Structures are given as C-alpha cells and as structure tokens.
Amino acid sequence: MRGALAILFSLCASVVLAQEFTTLKGHGGPIMGVAVSQQGQVATASFDNSVGLWTGRDPLWLEGHEAAVTAVRFLPDGTPISAGDDFSVRLWGNAPRELGRHKGKVTSLALSPDGRHVASGSWDGSIRLWPLDDGAQSQMPDPGAGVNTLAYDSKGRLYAGTTKGVLLRYDSDTSSPFVMVNHGFGINVLTLGNGWVAYGAVDGGTRVVDSETGAQIADFTLDRRPILSMTHHPKTGQIAVGDGQGYIMMLDAQTWSITRDFRATRRGPVWALAFSPDGQLIYAGGLDDVVYAWPVSMLDTFEPGIDGDRSFLRDAASMPNGERQFMRKCSICHALTAGPSRKAGPNLHGLFGRRAGTVAEYSYSATLQSSDIVWDEVTVNALFDEGPDHYIPGSKMPMQVIRKQTDRADLIAFLKQATGED
Ligand code: HEC
C-alpha cells in the first residue's frame, strides 16, 4: 500500500513537475541577478554581459553593458533597468539609454516608491540617484564603505548594506544615515517588510531587525556562508535566502520560522532569487547558465536542479594540464567550437592564424578591432605572459597573467588542438 502511494505520489509530482518546473536557457555565462515584473515577465542579469528578457521561455537579449551584469529590476510599467561591473546603470524599454555611471562596480538597484528615481549602490562607496522624470541627478550622503545592497521601504526611506558590515537607514536624501546594525562582516543582501529588515552577510549571518530601532527580531544563521541572495514576497509573507553552498532557505515572516530548506545546487552559489507575482514559484540562478523556477510548495521533492556540471568544474585531476588551464581560466568566457556563443568573450574557434578582433558577430572593443595582432603561439604566449592590460592596453579582456612558462605552453598546445576541431 505504501509503495503504491509512493508511486502515485511520484506520478503526481512528475505531472506537476512537467507543468510548473521551468528552466530558462540561453545565457552564455552564470546568472547574477533575476527579477520578475508585476506582469510576470522575467529579466535575468548575466556574466555574459547581457540582460535576458523572457517571454515564456523565449529570450530577448538586451545588449549594451561592457562587462558582467550584476543587478536587474523592473519599473512598475515593466521596463527593465540593470547595472553591472562596467560601472554603468542602464534603462531599457522603448528608448534604451545609460542613466549614468559610478566609479566602481555597481552591485545593487532600488526603485523609490514614488517611482521618481532609481538608486544604485557601488563598491566605489557611493549611492547615486538617477531621475526617471526630468529631475536632477544626485547622490546620498556618504555610506562610509562600498555598497552591496539597497532597498526602499514604503515610506521612501532607503536602507543600505555595506562591505564593512554596516546596515544603514537614510531617513531623507540629505541627512546622514542612521546606523541600524554594525555587524563586523560585510552585508551582502537585504530585504524588508512591514516594520522589519532582514539581511544576509559574508559570514553566513541571516538576521531580522526592527526597522525603527535596529533591535534584533530573529536570527536564522546556519553554518552556511556566505549569504548571497534574498527576496521577499509581501502577500504570502515568504522570504527566500540563497547561499554560497547552494541552498535556498524559506522563511515565514509571520511566524519567523524556517518553512523549507532546499538544496538547489550540488556545487556553487545561489546568486539570484525572485518570486513569481503570486508567490508560487521561486526563480533562482547561479553558476549554471540556466535560470530555474521551482514551485515553492514542492521544493523538497526536487533533486538539485542547478547541477554545477559546468565543464570547468569537471574533475580537474583527470584533465591534462593545458585543458585544465583553459577550463579554469578561460572557459567561463570563451567557446572553442564553431557556431554562435553567448559567452562574454569572442569564440576562439579558428584562433590560430586569425587577426585579432575579427569574429563577425562579436562586439569587440575599439582597441582590439583596430589591432594588427595575428594570433599565433608567440602572440597568445605574450598575451598571458604580460597580461592583456599590458599587451593590448584598452582591451576589455580582464587582467590575467599566467606566470609559469609550462602552463602557458600547455594551454597553447591545448588551444591549438581544440580551436581547430569542428
Ligand atoms: C572574464 C572573461 C574572460 C576570461 C576569463 C578570458 N577572456 Fe579572453 N577575452 C575576453 C573578452 C571580453 C575579449 C574581447 C576583448 C576586446 O574586445 O577588447 C577576449 C579576447 C580574447 C582573445 C582575442 C580574440 C580575438 O578574436 O581577437 C584571446 C586570444 C583570448 N581572449 C584568449 C583567452 C584565454 C586563452 C583565456 C584564458 C587564459 C581568456 N581569454 C580568458 C574575456 C575573457
């Protein structure tokens, strides 16, 4: 009897699974941010420099950022805004434009409840306000450290979590902030509800404090760290918390209890979380190029979906050194085989003998496009002996030096073989 019930249950589960478990595929790199609009549209921010705007499972790629996109939000009318490692904040929709720039990586975005501006926080230690109407651009008083996370409450007060572990509340745009918590470890994420603020930190701290006084209401700190993502669904009172060890913990903001604890990935972080408008689905992203959406009520019945099976996580010990160099240091940004790639860097297929900056569908920096380098054993060796920032100053390739001559030689031997294969 019990066996029959179990079979029946698993049949039901697989029917629901087919209906509700969704994956959004197409990005060429890890997923750093996800947002769901009031209308139910999903936007994703990726390491591949693009924002994906999904209608069902079909993506529209919003291109314009020059480095990884780390944050994405929707305006109430469904227009996405995004920010990233290229220091810029961009508005999409019918008339896409750059709202402005920081002097460092942008980590977070928040929309003021009156809809008049977007706040962005950056590791440059500033919080800037970008007007969505014809108002003037401005800056909040100094938060005293790099900013990791921002959120507004319904009264228009802005909360910020900093790299120095301070949780701040700005009661106005001009007065200095009130220190709510001085945590000692960087505060990565925060979310808030009626009368409370929840935050997650580098050391795994996951706490809820009173939004007026900063007094602690609840502590959900487990032995997992760092806390990397957090989102709240006001109508159902659910809070989802994602961490560096691949778990999604669900909290109930009415009873302040843990309702579910789900292993979403076998390896690697949960960087991005968002609820569907009705709170029934939780969207999550991480190291994989895929966004997963699980029905919350059935979380415990699923195997980890983000399986961490990216090629660079394959058992390194079993790989020859050249392949290992590539998998660890290059594969996150470069494809090797012919065909379209959505990775952040150009496809390396056919690299040897090719002039720099000539993959037709790739949008290079002006520097690489006008370069007269031809890629061969000598130039690829020089690229990583000196580092791209010295060998081709002004290119958008990240700084990276491979110090050991044998590692460079092994990498080049691997590349010669792997970029020539069809
Ligand atoms: C974080 C992403 C990233 C990583 C990691 C990375 N690259 Fe790149 N790479 C880029 C980008 C972006 C460009 C294009 C630069 C430009 O347009 O200025 C590029 C360009 C190149 C080019 C020039 C290609 C052409 O068509 O001209 C080569 C060669 C290259 N990378 C090799 C490598 C190798 C080998 C590694 C690993 C040791 C590596 N890259 C690691 C992002 C990356």
Residue 322 alpha carbon to ligand 1 centre in Å:
16
Residue 305 alpha carbon to ligand 1 centre in Å:
30
CA 355 to ligand 1: nearest atom:
27
Q: CA 280, 58, 65, 362: dihedral to nearest 10 degrees?
A: 150
Atom 30 of ligand 1, residue of closest alpha carbon: 348
Q: Where are the domains of the chain?
A: 21-301, 311-418
Pocket probe mutation, ligand 1, options 27, 333, 348, max atoms within 8 Å of Cβ: 333
Across 1-10, 155-164, 251-260, 351-360, least confident range: 1-10
Can you tell me whether residue 406 is helix, strand or coil?
A: helix
Atom 41 of ligand 1, residue of closest alpha carbon: 330
Atom 33 of ligand 1, residue of closest alpha carbon: 330
Q: Please state the pTM of the whole predicted model.
A: 0.76
pLDDT at 366 (0 to 100): 92
Q: What is the pLDDT of residues 223-245, one digit of tens each?
A: 888 999 999 999 999 999 999 99
Residue 375 alpha carbon to ligand 1 centre in Å:
12
Residue 397 alpha carbon to ligand 1 centre in Å:
5
Mean pLDDT over the full length of the chain = 89
Q: What is the pLDDT of residues 65-88, one digit of tens each?
A: 999 999 999 999 999 999 999 999
Pocket probe mutation, ligand 1, options 105, 334, 354, 385, max atoms within 8 Å of Cβ: 334
Strand order in the sheet with 88-91: 69-74, 80-84, 88-91, 97-101
State how far the Cα of 303 lies from the Cα of 281, in Å rounded to an integer. Answer: 16
Residue 418 alpha carbon to ligand 1 centre in Å:
15
Q: Which CATH architecture has domain 21-301?
A: 7 Propeller (2.130)
Residues flanking ligand 1, CB < 6 Å:
329-330, 332-334, 344-346, 351, 356-357, 359, 364-365, 367-368, 375, 380, 384, 395-398
pLDDT surpasses 80 at 2: no
Residue 313 alpha carbon to ligand 1 centre in Å:
20
Reading the block at residue 307, the tokens are 């399986």
Q: What is the pLDDT of residues 346-397, one digit of tens each?
A: 999 999 999 999 998 888 999 999 999 999 999 999 999 999 989 999 888 8
Reading the block at residue 395, the tokens are 């290119």
Phi, psi at 164, each rounded to 5°: -90, 5
Residue 382 alpha carbon to ligand 1 centre in Å:
13
CA 222 to chain centre: 23
- Sort strands 88-91 and 127-131 into parallel, antiparallel or unpaired: unpaired
pLDDT at 299 (0 to 100): 77
Q: What is the pLDDT of residues 132-170, one digit of tens each?
A: 988 899 999 999 999 999 999 999 999 999 999 999 999
Residue 393 alpha carbon to ligand 1 centre in Å:
13
Q: What is the pLDDT of residues 16-29, one digit of tens each?
A: 444 467 889 999 98
Cα angle at 32 between 84 and 202, to 5 degrees? 95
Atom 6 of ligand 1, residue of closest alpha carbon: 330
Pick the CATH number of 311-418 from 1.10.600.10, 2.60.15.10, 1.10.443.10, 1.10.760.10: 1.10.760.10
